[in-house]
Amino acid sequence: GTKLILGLTGILALSYLALRPSEREELARVMYAEAANQPRVVRRLVGETVINREKSGKYPSTIRAVIHQDNAFSSVGRRLWNQTALPAWIGYSGNMNSAERKIYNECLEDTGALMAGENVGLTGEKRIEAFYSGKKPSGRYWENMQTLYSDGKMSFCARRK
């Protein structure tokens, strides 16, 4: 038979992989971190944005890589993201109140539907690849974007046809 010999580096690498959250969990975390204080449809649109980017061929090809792309999501790298992205997030959630846990659980539930291709219900939603809060950002990238949905707080955009 074949023997598998792991040095300390191999053991540490396997430990890290075992602790890394799944892409589904990371998607739920970015939905929560970006829009926990927004209606559920907005949280779902954050998830839709990530999935659309992953499938577009213009962004990284995995959900994890899309989420962690430099400057892609304002919450990644901030305190809230770091707390909700801990491998033992459930342990941290003991500090969350029941309303916050409910919102996170809804995000986690919605990721399954979104990853299975379920629509949120908006025309053009599969084209959404960016969102912003407040005033529309300036710059070349944003000049080519049209708003498909806005609730007055967050706006979701797709490239102009």
- Cα 23 from chain centroid? 9
- Residues 17, 121: Cα–Cα separation, whole Å: 35
**pTM across the whole model:** 0.77
pLDDT tens digit at each of 161 positions of the chain:
444 444 444 443 433 334 356 888 889 988 988 898 899 999 999 999 999 999 999 999 999 899 988 888 887 765 555 554 443 344 444 567 788 889 989 999 999 889 888 888 888 889 999 999 989 999 999 999 999 999 989 999 999 98
Joined together, the tokens standing for residue 5 give 């010999």
Where is 114: in which H helix or E strand?
Answer: helix 98-115
Q: What counts of helices (H) and strands (E) characterise the chain? A: 8, 3
For residue 158, the cross-strand partners are 146
- Residues 11, 9: Cα–Cα separation, whole Å: 5
